[in-house]
Amino acid sequence: MAEISTIARPYAVAAFKFAKEKKALAKWSGMLALASAVSSDEQLSAHIEDPKVDKSALQDAFLKICGRKLDKHGQNLIKTLVEYGRLSILPAISSAFEELKAEDEGSIEAQIVAAAKPTVAVTKDIVKKLETKFGKKVSAEVVVDPEIIGGMKIIVGDSVIDASVKGQLQNLAYSLTA
């Protein structure tokens, strides 16, 4: 099965292009965040995943919960997602939309995964190097994951810089079996 981000991306790109054309990026960002939160609700999520639930009833319930916070174009997106059984990917659509918006505004997000929390100086140094490499302002999130054993793994959009011990061991194991 295709990865959720692969399915969500075309919807996010279409929403982004439409919002940019209408000069409504902030409005769409808010609508998608709201719809994402609603679709992530534990009770509603169970109905979204249940194939026995009538699509029109699900659509009506979802739009009623969102109320007037969705304009007619936002409602059309929800209707399309319900029709094709894609309502559960709203969080991924919202996330991809935010990435496109940040990229358009000249900034990108990075995730720094480390075995132990790096110092502020190390984090600032990594951010400066990423800004130089990508030519954009970088906002970084540091995640501690002891499973990478040591080193770091940096994720910026579709780019992954894996300098972790775990990654190097996996590469070594692959090269020995190939």
pLDDT tens for the 178 residues of the chain, in order:
468 888 999 999 999 999 999 999 999 999 999 999 999 988 888 888 888 889 999 999 999 999 899 999 999 999 999 999 999 999 999 999 998 998 888 888 899 999 999 999 999 999 999 999 988 888 899 999 999 999 999 998 778 899 999 989 988 998 898 7
Residue 164, amino acid: S
Do 4-102 and 108-177 share a fold?
no
CATH label, 4-102, candidates 1.10.1740.10, 3.30.9.10, 1.10.520.20, 1.10.10.350: 1.10.520.20
- Tokens 């959720």 label which residue? 4
* pLDDT given at position 159: 86
CATH label, 108-177, candidates 1.20.120, 3.40.30, 2.120.10, 3.90.1150: 3.40.30
The backbone torsions φ and ψ at residue 160, rounded to the nearest 5 degrees and listed phi first, read -130, 125
Q: What is the DSSP letter of 68?
A: G
**Residue boundaries of the structural domains of the chain:** 4-102, 108-177
- Tokens 């990478």 label which residue? 148
| 97 contacts 16 by C-beta, under 8 angstroms | yes
The backbone torsions φ and ψ at residue 104, rounded to the nearest 5 degrees and listed phi first, read -65, -35
Q: Nearest CA to 15 among 74, 103, 102? A: 74
The backbone torsions φ and ψ at residue 158, rounded to the nearest 5 degrees and listed phi first, read -90, -5
